[in-house]
Amino acid sequence: MLSQTAEHLARTPLGRVWENTGMSPAFEIHALLERLQGEGVVCRNHHEIRDYLLRFPDLVEVIPVAVGAAQEHFPRGSSPSA
């Protein structure tokens, strides 16, 4: 069962970035990474992430849900235990 935040993210433009918009997959992946950064997500190695998502585009739909779940479990300012 998805959390409320994950369900919300799945319904927002962040969660629907991979819909058939007529844009190239590379542009849509770029838009997803930009939106994630706008949500406060730190993305390192953009080129590696982009290349990976181009190889496995189905993951683009899952990422916003995973981000929402992580944000619920690790609120801003917290860090996972080492």
pLDDT digits (tens, 9 = 90+) for 24-79: 888 888 889 999 998 888 888 989 999 999 999 889 889 988 998 988 888 776 65
Residue ranges of the domains in the chain?
A: 25-73
Coil, helix or strand for 73?
helix
pLDDT surpasses 80 at 13: no
The owner of tokens 């997959």 is: 25
Amino acid 1: pLDDT: 46
Of residues 51 and 7, the one with the higher pLDDT is 51
Number of Cβ within a 10 Å radius of residue 6: 19
**53 CB neighbour count, 10 Å cutoff:** 21
As a whole number of angstroms, the distance between CA 11 and CA 53 comes to 21
Residue linked to tokens 């080492």? 82
